[in-house]
Chain A
């Protein structure tokens, strides 16, 4: 089946089951015209279809990045969260501005979490900028944002042995108001150097 037909099948699916099957078929297509169509699916308000489309987009690697950025849905935060998740997974430096903006200023926590988690993966693209951003995010009012920042800090510390990242993790492991954030920071430190809890 050519990609045009696969796209049509997605757009004309009459039931959720049909939609998911059509998206699966489209995600397997190797023609680039599938990319914008998959991005559209992120906004259909069907989580199963959106996850399949997102995985399909990630499979395209860096080819999907420009369109994911260009077609970021400013009016549908559900769609935006999936697109940001795809960009975060791809770890492409061109997404820097989009991820920083989303992490710092989006109103939707789901978008912010995904973007914050993604910052760790593109640290090398702009160390200063991302460090500044994360130093704010670890103080966010929302525990889930701080948690996502911990995940980012761990990625940074593992990739570049960054002393600031480790210091932040230590601070969060000892001081954060939420036990789950403390626990996640502690786990990061343990993975980093098998740190003994009593050293904290």
Chain B
């Protein structure tokens, strides 16, 4: 379910919580997404979603757990770190997509307790990081694990992350570069992302845009604005870039104080031109 989909306006918090434990599996699935999308982050909602992480009723033909996936995604949006241990348990779920959703949400929640569990998924290194036979994905959600370790500033994991810069899958290499930049602050890794903006594959260019936005590499502002993708992708990348710096500053006002070396107004000009 897409994050930019419009939520059903007739649903209420009470109804969603009831649906989450109701008979109808598709209503359960929708309710979990809805609670995340609507940011219903009270204790009761978080508790109910944590229970849904161990749901056994909703299974796909291949043995996946759709409700668990949506619940894991929703918990990332609600910002309650009580969900961290339950999400860590999801990293061992047999369903790849549950592990993927859990890694993404753990990255957002920003609680370091999960670092060891995430590192566990990199066990075996690049060697073990193979395509799963008959599946459209690798053994583990490496992209999300690497990005999560970067976001969590897991400095101890550098030695395990670095080899993934050479992984055969281009998107995994980008995730490793993004993580390495977050962990070391070394420009060479961010520049690797900038180079990917020239990749012949438009999907990879889009991924590189969002990576650069996520790590806030300001030197990439011009290359982002020039990238051959739709304006909306560039717009969101530039916003991400600014968000990183506007949050670090004591206040937006201070960050915008006129100063000849303040690079932020120039980034805003680039956004203006993409509207």
- B-binding residues in A (CB < 8 A): 47-48, 109-110, 113-114, 116-117, 143-144, 147-148, 151, 173, 178-180, 182-184, 186-187, 190, 194, 197-198, 200
Contacts and interface: CB of A to CB of B under 8 A. Distances in A.
B252 interface: yes
B254 A180 contact: no
Contacts, number: 62
Q: How large is the interface on B (under 10, 10 to 19, 20 to 34, 35 or more residues)?
A: 20 to 34
Interface string B247-268: 1000111111110000011001
B81 interface: no
B258 A183 contact: no
A53 B23 CA distance: 55
Contacts of B264: 183
Nearest to B244: A179
Given A187-B256, A197-B256, A200-B253, A144 B242 contact: no
Contact of A110 (B231, B254, B255): B231
Contacts of A116: 275
Given A179-B246, A180-B239, A180-B246, A186 B252 contact: yes
A183 B249 CA distance: 12
A179 B243 contact: yes
B156 to A, nearest CB: 31
Nearest to B272: A151
B5 to A, nearest CB: 13
19 contacts: A48-B228, A110-B231, A117-B272, A143-B239, A144-B235, A147-B271, A173-B252, A180-B239, A180-B268, A182-B246, A183-B242, A183-B246, A183-B264, A184-B268, A186-B253, A186-B256, A187-B268, A197-B257, A200-B253
Given A47-B230, A109-B232, A183 B275 contact: no
A94 to B, nearest CB: 21
Interface string B153-179: 000000000000000000000000000
Contact of A187 (B230, B232, B247, B265): B265
Q: Give the 9 A-B CB pairs with smallest separation, nearest first.
A: A197-B253, A179-B246, A117-B275, A113-B275, A182-B252, A186-B256, A148-B275, A180-B242, A180-B239
A130 B130 CA distance: 57
A110 B232 contact: yes
A200 B264 CA distance: 19
Nearest to B240: A180
Contacts of A113: 275
Contacts of B255: 183
A20 B87 CA distance: 50
Nearest to B246: A179
Interface of B: 228, 230-232, 235, 239, 242-243, 246-247, 251-258, 264-265, 268, 271-272, 275
Contacts of B258: 190, 194
Contacts of B235: 144
Contacts of A194: 258
A156 to B, nearest CB: 15
Given A144-B239, A187-B268, A197-B256, 18 more contacts: A47-B228, A47-B230, A48-B228, A110-B232, A114-B275, A143-B239, A173-B253, A178-B239, A179-B246, A180-B242, A180-B243, A180-B268, A182-B246, A182-B252, A186-B253, A186-B256, A194-B258, A197-B251
Contacts of B252: 173, 179, 182-183, 186
Contacts of A147: 271, 275
Nearest to A118: B275
Contacts of A198: 253
A149 to B, nearest CB: 10
Contacts of B247: 179
B230 A179 contact: no
B274 to A, nearest CB: 8
Contacts of B242: 179-180, 183
A180 B256 CA distance: 11
Contacts of B239: 143-144, 178, 180
A92 B251 CA distance: 39
A180 B242 CA distance: 7
B272 to A, nearest CB: 6
